[in-house]
Amino acid sequence: MRPIGKIRNPAVVILLTIVTLGIYGIYWHYEMFKETNEFDKEGVTGIVGLLITIVCGIVAIFLIPWQVGETRKRAGMSERVNAIHGLWILLPFVGVFIWIVQVQNAANELWEAQGAVAA
């Protein structure tokens, strides 16, 4: 059985990111990369994703939705998100929130399809 990721509420991801002044957001990036990579041994690993996030965060903004979408495709699902979703970040104030919601919801659907249940 392949390892599956954790189902997360996008609102909680946003709230924790705000409350921790971005620290949880960096951790979330690490987890998104790690979980999708561990699922099918494809794409960027958690540590490499973390380094990309810290060194060149704008790349991670496009890479995370791409990796989630590709993982969904390899699991036999529709892509739902891809690199172009990183452009949401350009929308002032709400763009980052839309981006998190879309990426996390796509990941949640993937994990639910694999049998994960919300905690």
pTM of the model: 0.94
For 50-77, write each residue's pLDDT tens digit.
999 999 999 999 999 999 999 999 999 9
Rounded to whole angstroms, the Cα distance separating 91 from 19 reads 21
Determine the number of helices (DSSP H) and then strands (DSSP E) in the chain: 5, 0
Looking up tokens 């879309």 gives 102
Q: How far is CA 14 from CA 2, 93, 114, in A?
A: 28, 12, 25
Predicted confidence at residue 113, as pLDDT, reads: 95
